[in-house]
Amino acid sequence: MADSTALWPLIIAVIGGYLLGSVPFGVVLTRMAGLGDVRRIGSGNIGATNVLRTGNKPLALATLILDSGKGAAATLIAGALLGPGAAIAAAGASVLGHLFPVWLGFKGGKGVATGLGVLLALNWQIGLIACAIWLLVALVTRFSSLAALSAFAAAPVACLLLASPGLATPGPAMAGVALFVAVLVFIRHRGNIRRLLDGTEPRIGRTSDKPGR
């Protein structure tokens, strides 16, 4: 029988990570700025890309920083207080919270910024690899969605191939949470994947008024 005392840190990390990840900064910031509900414009998404469609670049940048920061904060706090295993649990839970926030009826963002934040917090080398892949693919193809998919597909592989110190040492455990995050990101990008395949996905700098893009 599993030791219940060993499970409690993981349970606390999952609950705390989920609640912190659920904070919808895109919605909060656009409302505070008097721009209305970001879910009613552009793609209807709560992330930085859709906040950018308001025309307010500083607000979009703030959303990006805060969305990535909440994932990193959940991971680092759990790691400092409860250990590396709890950090990994909080990392996955924070991304889940961003995608399915309790405060918004479980309808949230796509997890890119928060996912990158948790990768950077768990192991900065893995996080930088993912960020570099995102940037490279975005610059070459001008598809934000393809850049995100490429970055998160590469992260679990990098965890298995790279040995480096960090809050979580790359290996099966971190590869597991990286794969979990990648699966969530791919699920939330399924509409983008369809449009990439049929050639209708808008490139960076071009917007669509249809929800989901």
Question: 20-76 pLDDT, tens per residue?
Answer: 999 999 999 999 988 888 888 877 788 888 888 888 899 999 999 999 999 999 999
Q: Does pLDDT of 207 surpass 60?
A: no
- Tokens 């690899």, residue located: 129
What is the average per-residue pLDDT within 80-94?
Answer: 93
Q: Of 27, 77, 21, which is closest to residue 54 (Cα–Cα)?
A: 27
Q: Return the higher-pLDDT residue of 205 and 99.
A: 99
Q: Does pLDDT of 100 surpass 60?
A: yes
Q: Which helix (H) or strand (E) holds 93?
A: helix 84-99
What is the average per-residue pLDDT within 118-134?
Answer: 95
What are the two backbone dihedrals, phi and then psi, of residue 34, each rounded to the nearest 5 degrees?
75, 25
Cα–Cα distance for residue pair 212/113, rounded to 1 Å: 17
pTM for the full predicted model: 0.88
Q: Does pLDDT of 212 surpass 60?
A: no
What is the average per-residue pLDDT within 90-97?
Answer: 96
Q: Does pLDDT of 129 surpass 70?
A: yes
Task: List the structure tokens of 24.
Answer: 């919808």
Q: What is the pLDDT of residue 209?
A: 40
Give the model's confidence band at 1: pLDDT under 50 very low, under 70 low, under 90 confident, else very high.
very low
Question: 158-183 pLDDT, tens per residue?
Answer: 988 886 666 666 678 889 999 999 99
Q: Return the higher-pLDDT residue of 207 and 166.
A: 166
Residues in the chain: 213
Share of the chain above pLDDT 90, in %: 66
Share of the chain above pLDDT 70, in %: 89
Task: List the structure tokens of 171.
Answer: 């290996």
CA Rg value for the chain: 17
The number of beta carbons lying within 10 Å of the beta carbon of residue 14 is: 20
What is the average per-residue pLDDT within 1-15?
Answer: 79
Cα–Cα distance for residue pair 138/142, rounded to 1 Å: 5
The number of beta carbons lying within 10 Å of the beta carbon of residue 164 is: 11
Query: One-letter amino acid identity for 182?
Result: A
Q: Please, what is the angle between helix 172-188 and helix 190-198, to 10°?
A: 70
Judged by DSSP in three states, 133 sits in: helix
